Structure 1
Amino acid sequence: MPPSDDITEDETGFFLYDLDSLKQHLSLLMQQDVIKLWFAVKANPLSRVIQTLGQQGFNFDVASQGELSQVLAQDIAADRILNTGPAKSKSQMKGFLRQGVRTFVVESLNQLQWLNQAANELSCRPQVLLRVQLQWQEGEKNPLGGNEVTAFGLSCDEWQTIKVADFSALNINGLHIFQWGNMLSNARMFELWSQMVTPLLTLAENLGMNLEVLDLGGGLGVDYLQTEQGLSWPTIINDLAIIKARAGVSELWLELGRYAVAEMGYYVTSVVDRKQNFQQQQLVLAGGINHLLRPAITEQPFPVAMLRESTATPCYFDLHGPLCTSLDKLGTLALADDVGVGDQLVFGLSGAYGFTESMPFFLCHQVAAEYVLQQGKIEQVRAVAPASWYLR
């Protein structure tokens, strides 16, 4: 997406979110009655993004006090908020209860006991989903652990040491399971969802739970590598209708992150230097993992294009950022061979896990600005900031 006169030219990097396209995308996601949709705020907590999601009927999954405060500040009612996250103390959960949150995903025996105590003390009865971690014979690398043992939830064996009736202050009526991230195959997702049903139903029966809600988390992927693979939303809905019927639950939940907001976002930065090194073409950029960390974590670069038009033959370049570490690499990607110093590059699918998943403080570079495009007009939501705003 080309820059506008409203965007400061000397910024080292900035994000632009197309809220008009986001609104259209969300509207399509909401045109079904199979699942209840939550937005994983970690994907993009910008105020205007939350407002757009809220207006389209999404609920909100928050995993910290900061995320909760940000969502409440956008006039989202507390009864539309779900508290997730592996590090919930009694004081945090009690604080959430005081602020009106009544739905929790509990991830440990301690959390269950603490929430029960807090609910008794505040004379309320929150809804609780127990987070379950399963294992499969086949393993594969995955950002959420996949088949690895992680801090997210407990095994069925561990949960079976409790009885739902022992926690009278809680309405324990659901199970939560989410272990796979950025999945691009409808068939694979349906296979995983299907494998979850039997052990979860068995667990609910052993706990004496009236299983009303099943939360399958997120994990719906976007095609960062531009392989022309992608998920079909109608197929997802059809598959989940089958899962819902098999599980016999009244509500099926999904917590969408990147699938909800990735496509509406762009990150723009400029080329500072070009050179050839050991026969490899390299571009050094004004912004790197200080603004877009995800490629260094997942080895999946954001797709990139040059803003100006060019008819030059494409060539593969290593794209490096400004940080003094070899980790600062945004990928090896094809660009027109005439790309040079001063050219602006735009990275797509940057609406999720961009600004707030970056590492902006290393080397004291500028913190990226954020803009929104709404009703055809570009507006600055956060100005570029020098390191002096946080250095003491």
Structure 2
Amino acid sequence: MSNSTSPADVTNTPTHASNCPDVTVQTEQGLYINPTALTAHLPALAYRNNTLYMEDISIDELAERYATPCYIYSKQAIVAVYQDYSDSFAAIEHQICYAVKANSNLAVLGVLAQAGAGFDIVSRGELMRVLAAGGKASKVVFSGVGKTADDIEFALNQGISCFNVESVNELILINKVAQQLNKSAPISLRVNPDVDANTHPYISTGLKDNKFGIAHDKAVAVYQQATAMSHIDIIGIDCHIGSQLTEVAPFIAALDKLIELIQNLADKGIQLKHIDLGGGLGVRYIDEAPITIAEFAQALLPKLTTLGLKVFFEPGRSMVANAGILLTRVDILKPTEHKNFAIVDAAMNDLIRPALYQAEMAVIPAVLSSVDADIEAMQAWDIVGAICETGDFLAKDRLLNLAGNDLLAITGAGAYGMVMSSNYNTRPRAAEVMVAGTQHQLIRKRESIEELYASEALWSAYQ
């Protein structure tokens, strides 16, 4: 791994190049993450004169303006990844449908809609967000295992592009609702190919033990059943095998199984218009080495070109994870005989990935000092929140030089961060900000404590 950065990024900045060229160094005390080496691999982030910047705004300035905890997103980074996907698959007809569940802020959706993206949704609420952000229902695919009659009716009335059907009973329900509306419902079946994505079990979705999709060996029969339904229009086939995949082999295995099904369906007179390979391409959080989007495309294009169908992709994490950071300040340092705790103003209610998935995310200082060039001078800290749970941690055993009120950035927080946050312990959710060059805008205000219970009422029935 390289720690190369542009000259502007390293001016007066400790680069640690002489003694630790890698992004990470594991010691007996804890894990050291080289801030300048890490940011060299991340879009929109760089140190300038020892200060961390996103695009052309210093993180210090953003924290001063919007306070902490606060999510910050780079418009440039979001659009660049979308364009990378679109350019990499330019040789075939395709549609990039951003997975809204990764980050559903209206500003994020609006930026992607303006860039030409479609959207992958899993609820009526997500569809309403897409429409509010300027997205087109005709470029939306509706996934998810629990679509209700109301969801289906709303989506049909909006002119949804396609339902990714996950069960026979869902197919029956879609047909019934479409018949009541005198509409034809465009569908694809989400096939569960029983491919091991080699990822965390909570984000693996393509195995027979998972709740998602229709079993591969049942798919042809279900397609045949769909042909007999009066208000169903079969247009595609879909699969999604999991998230944070760093190798192409699982995608190839799933694609081969779908191609086999497509050929079997064609033999039975069922012609499809598109194939949807879902999302799941992984990102680099610290020192992972996922395949690039270009490598992903190069591996799939030969088979997809021969197939001749329009191709849909549903990227989420890879579109926005490294476009975002979570800013937090150190409130209290609590060293003990057995463990050092840095209690920060963010917590598991703001970012649950470390507690839920045991996710390892980088924590780097907003401002570097001369001490940050010396691993031997650092202590190992658990970065924890103030929530009353032992599971409330953001990182463990990290070698850092910390003092009270230090500003820290948790990188890779653009996906499954704010969107999974909660009000546990009656904590207001963080603000969200988008940066574009030297411009920045509040795109979601911080909640007040009063807002958290404004819709509640005291019990008064018998007073």
Same fold by TM-score greater than 0.5 = yes
Question: Which residue among 57, 65, 84 is the counterpart of 2:143?
Answer: 84
Q: 1:364 maps to what in 2?
A: 426
Structure 2, unaligned stretches of length 5 or more?
1-52, 457-463
Q: 1:316 to 1:201 in 2, by over 3 A?
A: farther
C-alpha distance in 1 between matches for 2:170 and 2:264: 19
Q: 1:157 to 1:146 in 2, by over 3 A?
A: closer
Question: Which residue among 312, 336, 346 is the counterpart of 2:409?
Answer: 346
Q: 1:22 maps to what in 2?
A: 78
Is the 1:318–1:333 Cα contact (8 Å) retained in structure 2? yes
Instruction: Map 1:78-227; keep pairs closer than 5 Å.
Output: 78-136=137-195, 141-142=200-201, 143-162=203-222, 163=224, 164-186=226-248, 188-201=249-262, 204-205=265-266, 208-224=269-285, 226-227=286-287
Q: How far did 1:282 drift?
A: 2.0
C-alpha distance in 2 between matches for 1:84 and 1:10: 35
C-alpha distance in 1 between matches for 2:267 and 2:357: 38
Q: 2:112 maps to what in 1?
A: 53
Is the 1:311–1:336 Cα contact (8 Å) retained in structure 2? no
Q: How far did 1:230 drift?
A: 2.3
**Further displaced range: 149-158 or 100-109:** 149-158
Q: How far did 1:262 drift?
A: 1.3
1:75 aligned counterpart, secondary structure: coil
Query: What amino acid does structure 2 have at the position aligned with 1:119?
Result: A
C-alpha distance in 2 between matches for 1:346 and 1:174: 42
Question: Which residue among 251, 263, 266 is the counterpart of 2:310?
Answer: 251
Q: TM-score, normalised by structure 2?
A: 0.78
C-alpha distance in 1 between matches for 2:195 and 2:288: 28
Q: 1:109 to 1:207 in 2, by over 3 A?
A: farther
1:347 aligned counterpart, secondary structure: strand
CA displacement, residues 8-48 of structure 1 (integer Å, 9 cap, x when unaligned): 56844000111123223322322232332110001111111
Q: 1:278 to 1:132 in 2, by over 3 A?
A: farther
Query: What amino acid does structure 1 have at the position aligned with 2:426?
Result: C
Q: 1:292 to 1:132 in 2, by over 3 A?
A: same
Instruction: Map 1:4-43; keep pairs closer than 5 Å.
Output: 5=61, 7-8=63-64, 11-31=67-87, 32-33=89-90, 34=92, 35-43=94-102
| Number of equivalences | 387
The percent of aligned pairs where both chains have the same amino acid is 24
Q: TM-score, normalised by structure 1?
A: 0.91
Q: How far did 1:157 drift?
A: 3.6
C-alpha distance in 1 between matches for 2:193 and 2:337: 46
Structure 1, unaligned stretches of length 5 or more?
none
2:82 aligned counterpart, secondary structure: helix
Structure whose alpha-carbon radius of gyration is higher: 2
What is the aligned-residue RMSD (CA, Å)? 2.3
Q: How far did 1:121 drift?
A: 2.3
Q: 1:55 to 1:266 in 2, by over 3 A?
A: same
